Structure 1
């Protein structure tokens, strides 16, 4: 689900919380060693996201936030902030040969640059995959 999260709207916040869960509390953030990725550089995207990113001439970057039931990939275009909300059961992450990670949800995808020397990005993506393995539903009845 691709949403504009620039403004404080309770209905959008409720949609996000229903999809991926409320944000972690301070103790859980500390136990996980942080829930944010930092700045990631976007190399390519699906057409819907691409149409938003080409509206300005800035360098295309994004950030990933880990939630209890999924992740939120957020990026900016013009003066607006957008979020790609991905629950774990729809999340697919691939590590490509071209030093990039591909993050998929249905028809949406974002590819981010991950150079060999960028240990922080690799550690965060490993954290996301490990958390997905331990917390994601394994059966359709668990949804």
Structure 2
């Protein structure tokens, strides 16, 4: 789901926490080596996200936050912050030939450049965390 998270709204926070879980505790963050990605440069996006990104002339970038049951992809457009909330059971990540990672959920997608080792390590950490926390039964959803 694509949400405007610029303002502190309890309803939106509750929706996010139900979809991907609350933020990971500080002790676990240190053990994981961090839960946030480096700055990711967007090369391509689905039409809904693209329409938001073209509203301003800044460089299109995003970051990814790992949560217990999914990820949050955040990006800015004008003065607003948007988040793409992706539970692990809907997440698809593909690595392209040219050093591009593609993040898919339903009809949304974002393609980001992976030009540094830090970005590649982050996506490996993300996929390992997803494998450990992916629900095994439909009742777990």
TM interval, shorter chain, is over 0.9
Deviates more, 1:131-140 or 1:54-63: 131-140
RMSD: 0.6
Task: Report the CA distance between 1:141 and its aligned residue.
Answer: 2.6
- State whether structure 2 residue 69 is matched by structure 1 residue 69: yes
What's the counterpart of residue 124 of structure 1? 122
What's the counterpart of residue 136 of structure 2? 138
SS at 2:30's partner residue? helix
Alignment of 1:1-143 (within 5 A): 1-115=1-115, 118-143=116-141
C-alpha distance in 1 between matches for 2:129 and 2:67:
10
Structure 1's consecutive aligned runs of 4 or more residues displaced over 2 angstroms after TM superposition are none
Name the count of aligned residue pairs: 141
Question: TM (normalized to structure 2)?
Answer: 0.98
Question: TM (normalized to structure 1)?
Answer: 0.97
C-alpha distance in 2 between matches for 1:138 and 1:110:
26
C-alpha distance in 2 between matches for 1:25 and 1:140:
26
